A and B are shown apart, each in its own frame.
Chain A
């Protein structure tokens, strides 16, 4: 409603006063958390929020989570959510940052619109809607940034759990532990290919002893990995195929005719050695000679 945003904008025109009162309020309340943030930073955050809020209100556009006029405010709040999360604020404390602006604005709106109760009611409603929506969005940003952290940790975990080992010159081993979903497969492929480039390996043994189930999807992911390695000039041997897995593979009709498979890593290693024209021999036992 254009008239409502005009009223709100008029209130914010006394920017310095509103800012001062609002900052005082936050510093005095428990959610100000001066133990986590310097008051100069709080002041700066509050000042910027008011500036951006004024600019958005001036456009007269409805506050929504997608309109470009409100993108400045949204981006700013996303940043605030994130930095406060890192500082240790709880999501409600961050939401209170926005909601606490209601009080200084209520007071001024009342003074300005006392004589026109209908307009006062409209503006009050508009203010509540706007600040509530923005406060809720800070909680959503908070959650999203938490999800980002979890996601990042998952990635690191994925990378840690897919080590590529150089068993012998030109022979890599990739022991897979756990399920092989499409996200994991991407990480596996990248690790393996980078290792091929780094070591110049021509053979990669992918051991699936630690993969609990092999269904059509997992089989597809394995075949993709093999295909990618082949494009880089390396052949793959899949080892660690348990009897149940062998049965499942046949039942599913997965075509492994293009891929070498072995039951154990040891067998795969022997095969790999043969392919690279190497072998392991035992040293001849030396018979002890006694000197007489």
Chain B
């Protein structure tokens, strides 16, 4: 599998969240995703970008375009140096919210993606990666 392209975007303002959606859409279109697959990727990106901004105190996202033989995909990795998530399992449980809507965003993003991984520790920030294949 090869990473054909990689770019990094900051997530520090609400406008950045809008831009992340736009870039995710562009990459998905370039990889030939169907409209539904595009929408799923962009919506998941929106959830995670918001989380990064609102719960992570700001951060960045790396957008990678993947080619695996004939399979085409897009991978987004959101990272922040925020407070971290004390109980990731709990946060991922459907419908769970810390009163700020963190839960639905994470579990929703997982449901909308083909691959999902998360690393988070209190005091060490959070890193969430999602991949969608065509």
Count of A interface residues, CB-CB < 8 Å = 14
Q: How far is the CA of A242 from the CA of B85 in the complex (A)?
A: 47
A66 touches B69 (CB 8 A): no
Residue of B36, B67, B69 contacting most chain A CB atoms (<10 Å):
B69
Q: How far is the CB of B99 from chain A (nearest CB, A)?
A: 26
B2 touches A74 (CB 8 A): yes
Interface string of B52-92 (1 = CB under 8 A from A): 00000000000000010111000000000000000000000
B70 touches A148 (CB 8 A): yes
Q: How far is the CB of B3 from chain A (nearest CB, A)?
A: 8
B70 touches A141 (CB 8 A): yes
Query: A78-B69, A144-B69 are contacts. A190–B36 as well, Cβ < 8 Å?
Result: yes
User: Does A16 sit within 8 A of B, measured CB to CB?
Assistant: no
Tell me which residues from 63 to 103 in chain A have a Cβ below 8 Å from any Cβ of chain B: 66, 68, 71, 74-75, 78, 82
User: Does A140 sit within 8 A of B, measured CB to CB?
Assistant: yes
B69 touches A141 (CB 8 A): yes
A78 touches B2 (CB 8 A): no
Interface string of B88-122 (1 = CB under 8 A from A): 00000000000000000000000000000000000
B2 touches A82 (CB 8 A): no
Q: Which residues of B contact A74 (CB under 8 A)?
A: 2
Residue of B3, B67, B70 contacting most chain A CB atoms (<10 Å):
B70
A66 touches B2 (CB 8 A): yes
Query: A186-B36, A190-B36 are contacts. A145–B70 as well, Cβ < 8 Å?
Result: yes
Q: How far is the CA of A4 from the CA of B60 in the complex (A)?
A: 42
Chain B residue at minimal CB-CB distance from A137: B69
Query: A186-B36, A190-B36 are contacts. A66–B1 as well, Cβ < 8 Å?
Result: yes
Chain A residue at minimal CB-CB distance from B36: A190
Q: How far is the CB of A283 from chain B (nearest CB, A)?
A: 46
Q: Which B residues are closer than 8 A to A by beta carbons?
A: 1-3, 36, 67, 69-71
Q: Which A residues are closer than 8 A to B by beta carbons?
A: 66, 68, 71, 74-75, 78, 82, 140-141, 144-145, 148, 186, 190
21 A-B residue pairs with Cβ-Cβ distance under 8 Å, sorted by A, are A66-B1, A66-B2, A68-B2, A68-B3, A71-B2, A74-B2, A75-B2, A75-B67, A78-B69, A78-B70, A82-B70, A140-B69, A141-B69, A141-B70, A144-B69, A144-B70, A144-B71, A145-B70, A148-B70, A186-B36, A190-B36
9 further contact pairs, Cβ within 8 A, besides A66-B1, A148-B70: A68-B2, A68-B3, A74-B2, A75-B2, A75-B67, A140-B69, A141-B70, A144-B69, A144-B70
In order of increasing CB-CB distance, the 8 nearest A-B pairs are A71-B2, A144-B69, A78-B69, A144-B70, A141-B69, A148-B70, A145-B70, A66-B1
